[in-house]
Amino acid sequence: MTRFFVSPQELQPEFLVLTGDNAKHAKVLRLKAGEEVLVCDGEGRECVCVISDVSEGQIGLVVRHRQASQTEPGVRVRVYMAFPKADKLEHVIQKATELGAYEIVAFPSARCVSRPDEKSLSKKLERWQKIAASAAEQSGRGRIPQVRALASYAAAIQEAAQADKPILFYENERATSLRMCLEQGGFRTASLLTGPEGGLEPEEVAQARQAGFQICTLGRRILRCETAPLCALSAVMYHAGEF
């Protein structure tokens, strides 16, 4: 079933109208009156609708029934990633959205080479959110993950520590594997924090441990900064029964 995203305010109880890019997309797909489509508000609610009329620049819909999204994971996982170089974060945003991430949050750390200023960060966030929206539509998500940026490593630690299961991945950790960490009690929310190309400073790891994070290894091989969060997210989703 074709899926469209609208704002929560547009998700009316009985009738909907698709305009703008949604109407153009529907025209490209040659949708006709009588066909069913799914309209999502990007926050986990959706409507099964029937096309009532097709006119220039808009598509009229009749709502058949509303429901919670059937494709959202039962566990909310936020991915916290230190700013990487080049466009690596774009790749992570796209794939993390497909895998079911609830949010993707970028932050600066001591070894970050990339440190976007306020103006460039604003443009990047706009682009990153569009990437998340496109990936959510393509993968059949009912929610578009928010892509955010925090001003400091300390802010990332403080926020991420509020999850039921806050985890930091460190290449020098030897004792605790991700499997061991996930098997230690149930959780409904998780934070997965990874560093930049050069990794995290030992002092940053100690700061996270003090804040309540579990420090884990992702194995004997060192993963690239864009590989680590996706590997960890996949493992958490598998553990949660999503695969």
Note the pLDDT tens digit of each residue in 59-93: 999 999 888 888 899 999 999 999 999 999 999 99
Nearest to 169 by CA among 222, 242, 234, 95: 222
In the sheet where 214-216 sits, what is the strand order? Answer: 146-149, 103-107, 76-82, 189-194, 165-169, 214-216
Nearest to 216 by CA among 172, 166, 176: 176
Statement: residue 44 has pLDDT above 90? no
Range in 20-34, 145-159, 208-222 with the lowest mean pLDDT: 20-34
Q: Where are the domains of the chain?
A: 2-68, 76-239
Residue 207: pLDDT band with limits 50, 70, 90: very high
pLDDT at 36: 92
Pick the CATH number of 76-239 from 3.40.1280.10, 3.30.960.10, 3.30.470.20, 3.40.50.720: 3.40.1280.10
Residue 134: pLDDT band with limits 50, 70, 90: very high
- Asked if 112 and 156 touch (Cβ cutoff 8 Å), the reply is no
pLDDT at 8: 87
What's the one-letter identity of residue 156? A
Dihedral sign, Cα of residue 228, residue 84, residue 150, residue 92 = negative
Note the pLDDT tens digit of each residue in 147-164: 999 999 999 999 999 999
Q: What is the mean pLDDT of residues 11-26?
A: 87
pLDDT at 172: 93
Nearest to 219 by CA among 178, 182, 191: 178
pLDDT at 11: 83
pLDDT at 2: 87
Cα–Cα distance measured from residue 6 to residue 19, given in angstroms and rounded to the nearest whole number: 10
pLDDT at 25: 86
Kindly report the average pLDDT of the chain as a whole number: 93
Tokens found for residue 192: 């997965």
pLDDT at 113: 93
User: How many of the other CB atoms lie within 10 Å of CB of 177?
Assistant: 15
Q: What is the mean pLDDT of residues 140-144?
A: 91
pLDDT at 96: 98
pTM assigned to the model: 0.88
pLDDT at 192: 98
Class of domain 2-68: mainly beta
pLDDT at 97: 98
Cα–Cα distance measured from residue 236 to residue 186, given in angstroms and rounded to the nearest whole number: 12
pLDDT at 183: 93
